[in-house]
Amino acid sequence: MDEVWATIAQLTGRTLYTRPDREAFQIVSVNRSKAQAIQILTNSNGTGGGETQIISRGEIERTFNIRQKVDDLTPTIIRISGASVKNPEHIAAIFAAIEGRD
């Protein structure tokens, strides 16, 4: 899990895209020690516009546990499993990026 958090931290400042809609969002900050671990900027078009959203440490850690059991981590799997109801598209994109599939 430490390696996953280190890799997520390296995504700070990067623009990622949800699938299948390819909606842009940017990782603003990552702080594993906080319950509200990841701050993202949604609808990010590179000009600073967008809305701030929080991804919790629990959402990431629950998704990590699910990732160990499935080959293709999709937003639907993340949502149905209960790992994240609020941010499944963004979390799937983050995991795709840390696995080099973005």
pLDDT at 35: 87
Q: Which of 86, 31, 78 is nearest to 57 (CA)?
A: 31
Where does the pLDDT of residue 71 fall: very low under 50, low under 70, confident under 90, or very high at 90 and above?
confident
Which of 45-49, 53-57, 72-76, 86-90 shows the lowest mean pLDDT across its residues?
45-49
What integer pLDDT is reported at residue 17 of this predicted model?
Answer: 94
Positive/negative CA dihedral, 7, 11, 17, 23: positive
Do 17 and 23 meet the contact criterion of CB atoms below 8 Å apart? yes
Calpha distance 38→20 (Å, rounded): 22
Q: What is the pLDDT of residue 48?
A: 56
